[in-house]
Structure 1
Amino acid sequence: MENVKTLQEERKQLFNDFYNNRLPKRMPIQIQVPHTIMGAVGKISAFEYQYNFGLLRDAADNICMSLNSDTCPIIGVGHNARVPAYYHFMASNNFQMGANGQMQHPEVSGMTAEEYGALIADPYAFMLETAIPRHYEKLSLDKPIERTLALNAAQSAVQKLTGQMGQTLRYLIERYGYYPGAPLGSGGFVAAPFDFLSDQLRGFSGISMDLRRHKSQIKEACEALLPLMYRFALPPNPHPEGFIGNPLHMPPFMRPKDVEELWFPTYKKLLEQLAARGARVRAFCEGDWTRYLDLLRELPAGTILAFEYGDPKLFKEKLGDKFILVGFYPLALLKTGTPQQCIDKAKELLDIMLPGGGYLFNFDKAPMAAEDMNLDNLYALTDFLRDYAVYDNAGTPYGMALNTENYCVDPSIETFDSKYAFDWKAHKEKYPLTPEGARSFLDTTYNQSFRDNILLLV
C-alpha cells in the first residue's frame, strides 16, 4: 500500500508540473478504455451494463492490471456518457439507441429558419419553450405532470448510474495509485456558439442552407448564444489541471471565409473570457484543421488542442510553443498492426512531439467499439510510453502558461439576460427575510438547473 501511495504522489507531481509549464520527469499517460471494451472483456452486453455499471467492475480491474496509465483508464458516467435511461425517460429524438446498444445522434433540427428572431431575442427562453420540447416528447409544455415525472426520473437515473461507476473508479484509483484528477469543480463542457446553433438547433443541413441565405442572422445568433455558452462552460473552481471539454464540429465542412466571419469570432471571445477566469479549454478539432492553423494560433495560450488528422511536424512547428497538443496517433493501427508496429509508430510520433514539452499522447479519435483495438497492442504500447517518454531536463519551463495574455473579464458576457434568469430583486421582494449573503448561493444553485437544461442540447 505504501508503494501505491508513493506512486500516486509521483503521478500527482507529473500532472502538477505539466499543467504549470514545467517539464515533468516523463510525459503523463492518459489512456481511456470505453465501456464497450470493458463489456467485451467481461462478456457483458451494452444492453445490460448501461443499466447497471457495477457489472463492469471486474472487467475494469482486469484491464487496469495490464495497462500502464497515470490516470484511471476507465471512463466515468454522467450526462455526457449518453446513458439510455436518461434519454428514454424523456422520449428523446436527438439521442437514440442503435442496434449495437450505443446511443447515437441522428440529424435533427429543433429550430426553423424563420425562428432566428425568437432565438436572438431570448436564447434561453427559446430553448426551454421551443427546442427542448421538440427534441423530447415527454417534455411537452402541455403535459406538465408527465414532464415533471420524466425530468425527475431522468435525473435520478443519471445520479444512480454515476454513483455505480463512481464506486468502481474510487476503488481502482485507490488500488492502483492513479492520479485522482483535477480538483472538484474545475472541469466542464461547452460547444462553440456556431456549433451549438448548427448541431441540434438548425441541424447540419439547415445550417448549410442558412450559410447561403441567413448569414447576418447566424452572426447575431452566435453573439446571442455566447453569454449562454460562457455561463454553461465556466466551472465553479477553475484550476490549471482542470479543463472544459469542447468538441469542434463545423469548420472542416465550411469555407474558410465563413469560418473567419461567422464561426471564429464568438469562439475566440468565449475562450478568451474563460481564460480570463483561469479556466482552460480542451478542444477536440474533429476532421482536418490544417488550413486553420493560423486561426487557431489566435486562441489563448495554454489551450489544449487535440487533433484527429494532420502532419504532426507542421502542427508542432505552428502551435507547439503556445498550446498543449494532443493526438495524431492512428487508432486503427491498434486493430491492424503488430505490437512492434504500434510501438514503432509511437516512437516516430514522440520523436516529433515530445521535444520541448507540451504534448500528451493520445489517439486520433476516441475508441468506441470493442473491435476498435487489440488490447494486447494497447498494453504493449502503454509499457513503451512509460519507458520512452522521459525528459532528461525535468523542471525546465516550457511553452506559455494559461492566459499569458492577461485577458480581462468583459462584464457584458457575464450578463445573463433572459426572462427565465434568476431574479434576486424579485426573490428578495417575495422573501424579504432572505439575507444578502444568500444571494450567491441562490444564484449558483439556480444556475445548476440552467446547466441541466443546456445539457439536453449538447
Structure 2
Amino acid sequence: MENADKKQLLEKRINRFVTTSNLEEPDIVPIMSQINSYAIAYCGKTAWDAFEDPELERQCYRRASEAFYFDGLSIFGLNHPFKAYLDVESPTYFVSEDGVTIQHRETSSMTDAEYDEFCEDPIAFIANKIAARKIKAFEKPYPENYEALKKLLDTIAAFKQNSAENRRYVLEEMAMPILSSRSAPNPCDNFFDFIRGFKGTLKDIRRFSDKVGKAVEALTPYYEKSIPSSQEEPFPWLLSTCHIPTFLSKEQFKKVYWPYMKRCILAAHENGTKYMAFLEGTWKQHFDLFEEIPKGALIAILESDDIIDFKKRFGDQITVAGGMPLAMLKHETEKACIDQVKRVYDACAPGGGFIFTVDKPPLGPKDLNVDNLKAVNAFAHEYGRY
C-alpha cells in the first residue's frame, strides 16, 4: 500500500472512533482490538522471547492484529516494562505456566498501621518505602543496590523507546490507530493494585474506610497532574483498567472510589480528551452515579454488564464498547457468534456511541477460536455499515 493510501485509511479509521465517541453515527461501527499477550502465543513464541527481542514482539503483535479485521488497537505490544521488574528481582509480575500470560502478583507493600504516614506525603512514602519493599535488589548493600537502580532505569528507558517506536510503526506501517495515548489515572485502583494490595484494601475498606478514602484522596492530585493540560487533538484517549468496584457495595464505591475516579474523568474532559475505562466484573450497582458524567466524556468497555441495557440507559451520554463474549468465541459455533453480532448491532449501533470489541482481552494461547474471531469481525465490518 502506498503511503498516501495508508494515510487516507488511517484518517478514515480514526474518524470512525472519534465520530462514534461523540455520540454520532460514523460510516461503519468501529471494531477495536484488545489482543494482549495472546499475540505472542499466536506466533508460537513466549513472553521471554518478547522481553529479549522488541522487533520480534512488534512482528507478533502485527501478525495477530492483521489476522483479523480491526479498525484500531487498544494496545500494541507489552503494556508494562515487565522485564524491568524481573531484572531487579521484583515479585510484582510473573509469567504463567503457559509461557505467555503475564500476571500481577497480589502483594501488599504497606501495613494497616502506616496510613497516617502515607497521607502526609504519598510520593515520599512510595519512593522511600514501597519501592524498596517491591524490589528485592534494593535491599542489597551498596554498590549492588545502586547498580540495580541503574539497571531498572535503563530497562524502563528502553521500554519507553520501544513503546514510542511501536506507536510510530502502527500508525505509519499498519495505518491503524492506537486508541490510548497513555494510562488514565485512577487513584483507588492504583492504591489497590500497587500499594495496599487486594486483601489489604478490601479488608481496610470494611474496617476503616475513612483512612482508605484519605489515602486515595492524597494520591488524587498527583494523578490529576498526570493528565496532559491540553491536547491539540481529542484523540487518542486515556485508558484505565478498573478492578476493584465489582467487589464494592454501592456505599463503599460512592465513598472511596467514585469521587476520585470522577475527578480524573472530569480533568480529562476539561483538558480536551476522553477517559476510556475497562469496567471489570459487574458495575450495575454503581451505574446511577454515571449520570453525573458530562456528555461524551467517558467510553465504557463492559465486561460482565449487559451492553444492550447500558446502551438504552446511557446511549445519549456515554460511548459503550463490547458486545462479543470471549467465551462465545472459544466455545460456541460460528453461527451463534454471528447471531450475537446481529443482536448487539441491531440494539447498539443506531445513533453512534458504540464500539465493537470482546468483553475480555485474550491473553493465553487457548483463549479463543481463531476461525470464530475471523468470521465475526469480517461479518461485523460489513453488517456495521450505516
- TM-score for both structures, normalised by structure 1: 0.75
1:287-326 alignment runs, 5 A limit: 287-302=281-296, 303-326=298-321
1:165-244 alignment runs, 5 A limit: 170=168, 173-176=171-174, 178-181=175-178, 187-234=181-228, 237=231, 239-244=233-238
Q: Shift of residue 181 of structure 1?
A: 4.3
Residues 74, 178 of structure 2: 8 Å contact kept: no
State which of 143, 146, 154 in structure 1 corresponds to 2:144. Answer: 146
Write out per-residue CA displacement over residues 111-164 of structure 1, whole angstroms, 9 at most, x where no aligned residue: 111111111111111101111111111234x74543443233234334445656
Q: Call closer, same or farther: CA 1:248–1:39 in 2, change over 3 Å.
A: closer
Q: Call closer, same or farther: CA 1:169–1:258 in 2, change over 3 Å.
A: closer
Q: Which moved more, 1:301-310 or 1:188-197?
A: 188-197
Letter in 2 for 1:118: E
The 2-side partners of 1:209 and 1:10 are apart by: 48
SS in 1 for 2:144: helix
Residue 450 (structure 1) aligns with: none
Letter in 1 for 2:121: D
Q: Call closer, same or farther: CA 1:312–1:72 in 2, change over 3 Å.
A: closer
Larger radius of gyration between Structure 1 and Structure 2: 1
Q: Call closer, same or farther: CA 1:62–1:368 in 2, change over 3 Å.
A: closer
> Which runs of 5 or more structure 2 residues have no equivalent in the other structure?
none
Residue 43 (structure 2) aligns with: 42
SS in 2 for 1:362: strand
Q: Shift of residue 61 of structure 1?
A: 5.1
2:372 aligned with 1:387: no
Q: Shift of residue 12 of structure 1?
A: 3.6
State which of 366, 373, 380 in structure 2 corresponds to 1:371. Answer: 366
Residue 124 (structure 2) aligns with: 125
Q: Call closer, same or farther: CA 1:65–1:274 in 2, change over 3 Å.
A: closer
Residues 251, 259 of structure 1: 8 Å contact kept: yes
Letter in 1 for 2:326: L
Letter in 2 for 1:311: D
1:418-437 alignment runs, 5 A limit: none
Write out per-residue CA displacement over residues 55-84 of structure 1, whole angstroms, 9 at most, x where no aligned residue: 25555554455421122687224xx3353x
State which of 351, 356, 361 in structure 2 corresponds to 1:361. Answer: 356
Letter in 2 for 1:115: E
Letter in 1 for 2:348: M
Letter in 1 for 2:118: L
Q: Shift of residue 288 of structure 1?
A: 0.7
Residue 133 (structure 2) aligns with: 134
Residues 321, 356 of structure 2: 8 Å contact kept: yes
Q: Call closer, same or farther: CA 1:262–1:181 in 2, change over 3 Å.
A: closer
Residues 307, 320 of structure 2: 8 Å contact kept: no
Write out per-residue CA displacement over residues 8-31 of structure 1, whole angstroms, 9 at most, x where no aligned residue: 343243234334444211122222
What is the alpha-carbon root mean square deviation over aligned residues? 2.7
Q: Call closer, same or farther: CA 1:235–1:157 in 2, change over 3 Å.
A: farther
Percent identity between matched residues is 29
Q: Shift of residue 238 of structure 1?
A: 6.4
The 2-side partners of 1:51 and 1:66 are apart by: 24
Residue 285 (structure 1) aligns with: 279
2:225 aligned with 1:267: no
Residues 189, 233 of structure 1: 8 Å contact kept: no
The 2-side partners of 1:138 and 1:93 are apart by: 11
The 2-side partners of 1:312 and 1:12 are apart by: 23
Write out per-residue CA displacement over residues 399-451 of structure 1, whole angstroms, 9 at most, x where no aligned residue: xxxxxxxxxxxxxxxxxxxxxxxxxxxxxxxxxxxxxxxxxxxxxxxxxxxxx
Residues 76, 169 of structure 1: 8 Å contact kept: no
Q: Which structure has the higher relative contact order (CA within 8 Å, separation 6+)? A: 2
Q: Shift of residue 322 of structure 1?
A: 0.5
Q: Shift of residue 239 of structure 1?
A: 3.5
Residues 323, 358 of structure 1: 8 Å contact kept: yes
Residue 88 (structure 2) aligns with: 90
SS in 1 for 2:211: helix
How many residues of Structure 1 are paired with residues of Structure 2 in the alignment? 382
The 1-side partners of 2:19 and 2:230 are apart by: 23
SS in 1 for 2:239: strand
Letter in 2 for 1:53: P
> Which runs of 5 or more structure 1 residues have no equivalent in the other structure?
392-458
Q: Call closer, same or farther: CA 1:94–1:17 in 2, change over 3 Å.
A: same
Residue 35 (structure 2) aligns with: 33
Residues 91, 137 of structure 1: 8 Å contact kept: yes
The 2-side partners of 1:166 and 1:274 are apart by: 22
The 2-side partners of 1:217 and 1:373 are apart by: 42
Residues 54, 168 of structure 1: 8 Å contact kept: no
Letter in 2 for 1:287: G
Q: Shift of residue 372 of structure 1?
A: 0.6
2:328 aligned with 1:333: yes
The 1-side partners of 2:314 and 2:273 are apart by: 20
Question: Whose strand proportion is higher, 1 or 2?
Answer: 2
Q: Shift of residue 361 of structure 1?
A: 0.7
Q: Call closer, same or farther: CA 1:61–1:196 in 2, change over 3 Å.
A: closer
The 2-side partners of 1:271 and 1:172 are apart by: 27
Q: Shift of residue 249 of structure 1?
A: 1.7
The 2-side partners of 1:363 and 1:48 are apart by: 26
The 1-side partners of 2:167 and 2:128 are apart by: 38
Q: Shift of residue 244 of structure 1?
A: 1.5
Letter in 2 for 1:76: G
